[in-house]
């Protein structure tokens, strides 16, 4: 059965400063996926891109900083209007000047 392209409410967030319109109630990981940006974290040691892996809160590969709180699992947290989302590089603390 093909999906009807039902209009769906969206909310406004910023990702690394850029304004994004994302589906209301979607997980942050789903917002990145819908934006065709499957890799958002950069690893500490090999500086490799990572994105969604387990999808259910177990692997911690999808971490992002949300409104200043780092290490938020993008697969669990849902987008809220006005969220300031920052991708994490390395330990995830560099953005905070640590």
3-class DSSP state of 7: coil
90 near another protein, rule: CB under 8 A: no
Among 13, 30, 86, 87, binds another protein (CB under 8 A): 30
Give CA–CA dist 11/48, Å, rounded: 30
Give CA–CA dist 72/50, Å, rounded: 14
Q: Pattern 38-67, binding to another protein, x per CB under 8 A?
A: xxx--xxxx-xxxxxxxxxxxxxx-x--xx
2 near another protein, rule: CB under 8 A: yes
- Give the chain's largest Cα–Cα span: 51
Binding site for another protein (CB under 8 A): 1-3, 8-9, 23-27, 29-31, 33-34, 38-40, 43-46, 48-61, 63, 66-67, 69, 71-73, 75-78
């Amino acid at each position: 059965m093909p999906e009807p392209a039902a209009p769906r409410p969206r909310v406004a967030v910023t990702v690394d400063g850029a304004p994004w319109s994302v589906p209301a109630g979607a997980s942050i990981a789903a917002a990145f996926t819908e934006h065709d940006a499957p890799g958002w974290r950069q690893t500490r040691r090999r500086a490799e891109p990572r994105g969604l892996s387990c999808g259910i809160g177990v692997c911690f590969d999808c971490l992002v900083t949300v409104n200043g709180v780092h290490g938020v699992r993008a697969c669990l947290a849902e987008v809220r209007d006005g969220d300031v989302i920052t991708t994490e590089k390395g330990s995830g603390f560099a953005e905070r000047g640590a």
